Amino acid sequence: MIVRRLLATVPILIGAAVFTFFLTRVLPGDAASFLASGQATPAEVAQLRQSLGLDRPLPEQLLHYLAQLARGDWGRSFTTGQAVTADLLQRLPASLELTFFAFGLALATGIPLGVAAATRPGSWIDHLCRAIGTAGSCAPTFVVGLLLIYAFYFLLGWAAEPIGRIDALVAPPPTRSGFLLVDALLAGDGAAWRSALSHLLLPGLSMALFSVAPLARITRSAMLAVLASDFMRSARALGLPRRRVLFGYALRNALLPVLTTLGMVFSYMLGANVVVEKLFAWPGIGSYALDALMASDPAPVQGFVLLVATLFALVNLLVDLAGAAADPRLSAAR
């Protein structure tokens, strides 16, 4: 199953590469004009375009790009002057740390809220779950981020300045994993750890609040369906402890749709962090791609889409494996 799924991702990645290639070519803007100085003549701009290979026909540029990808070359950024892979690997830990932190907040809030709402239908917590599900689905991430900045940084002054991953006056810990919280713990630097955590809170909450809604809603629906099943009524009739019935039987049988939603939520966070990273000046791959898009630099945008598509395929594979572990019938069917 793993080999089949990995092979199935190859055409998906090729399709993503082709789609992004044409998308970056049809968007307004010219990389040669952007890179040329304001005093450059049209002849100099045309010469720069020729040196970049932008004067070739689109099919020829596409074949050249796909050949580069086959060799493991994702291109070079015009704005930074470095290889796209080097830029992405340098910024990826910052994006993953933010995504994991927001995902942990959503997981710790959404699933318990859904379980509590399912076990007390019609109560205040059930109404709260449905209200959060509706509000979370309607409020865009950047609006939530702006409101959090205005409330907790501008008005109350409780949050850290929404710029970067750590205070400018705090020395960052030695880089080992790329995750500032982990590196600060390994270095025993409490000041750096507190500063990194304070900078993570607002962007993490901005991403988590939007993701709590689908998690709570799906968990509530799955738990309600399982709790109304025949085997759950039999378990309660046999006098089994309520905690064992709820967590040992009901929650485990409701895990499959929840696991699928978890994979979708995590994959969404990987792509949705573009706006959050730009809003909080977070030095991740999302802000890197957005800066490249504004500069008409196609290689970083294409590399960002390929990286997110690859991570998306890996997350889906992990969700399938987790689903097979939760329900052995799935692995037997495959």
Distances (CA, A) of 142 to 27, 39, 102, 150, 168: 23, 38, 14, 12, 24
Q: Which fold has domain 84-333?
A: MetI-like fold (1.10.3720)
Higher pLDDT pick, 206 / 138: 206
The pTM for the full model equals 0.84
Helices 180-187 and 84-119: crossing angle, nearest 10°? Answer: 90
Positive or negative CA dihedral for 52, 56, 62, 68? negative
Average pLDDT, the chain: 82
Contact 105, 201 (CB under 8 A): no
Contact 211, 100 (CB under 8 A): no
Tell me: the pLDDT tens digits for 49-80?
Answer: 777 677 778 888 888 888 888 888 888 888 88
Position 251 pLDDT exceeds 80: no
pLDDT of residue 311: 85
**Which class for 71: exposed (0-12), middle (13-18), buried (19 or more C-beta within 10 A)?**
exposed
Annotate 274-320 with DSSP letters as a single string: HHHHHHTT--SHHHHHHHHHHTT-HHHHHHHHHHHHHHHHHHHHHHH
> DSSP state, 168?
T
* For range 13-42, the mean pLDDT: 74
Tell me: the pLDDT tens digits for 120-133?
Answer: 888 888 888 888 77
Q: Please give the share of the chain, as a percent, with pLDDT higher than 90.
A: 6
pLDDT of residue 327: 62
Q: Please give the share of the chain, as a percent, with pLDDT higher than 70.
A: 90
Neighbours of 124 (CB within 10 A): 9
* For range 299-321, the mean pLDDT: 84
Instruction: In whole angstroms, give the CA distance from residue 207 to residue 160.
Output: 17
Q: If we measure between CA atoms, which residue out of 88, 94, 105, 103 comes closest to residue 165? A: 94
In residues, how long is the chain? 334
* For range 178-198, the mean pLDDT: 90
Judged by average pLDDT, the poorest of 66-75, 114-123, 134-143 is 134-143
Q: Please give the backbone phi and psi of residue 307, each rounded to the nearest 5 degrees, phi first.
A: -65, -45
HSE (side-chain half, CA atoms, 13 Å) at 95: 29
pLDDT of residue 31: 67
* For range 194-208, the mean pLDDT: 89
Nearest 10 degrees: Cα torsion 98, 102, 104, 109: 170
* For range 319-334, the mean pLDDT: 63
Judged by average pLDDT, the poorest of 6-15, 128-137, 211-220 is 128-137
pLDDT of residue 93: 92
Neighbours of 328 (CB within 10 A): 9
Confidence of residue 38 (pLDDT cuts 50, 70, 90): low
| Three-class SS of 54-71 | CCCCHHHHHHHHHHHHHC
Annotate 38-57 with DSSP letters as a single string: TT--HHHHHHHHHHHTTTS-
Confidence of residue 326 (pLDDT cuts 50, 70, 90): low
**Structural domain spans, the chain:** 84-333
Contact 301, 293 (CB under 8 A): yes
Contact 99, 176 (CB under 8 A): no
pLDDT of residue 214: 84
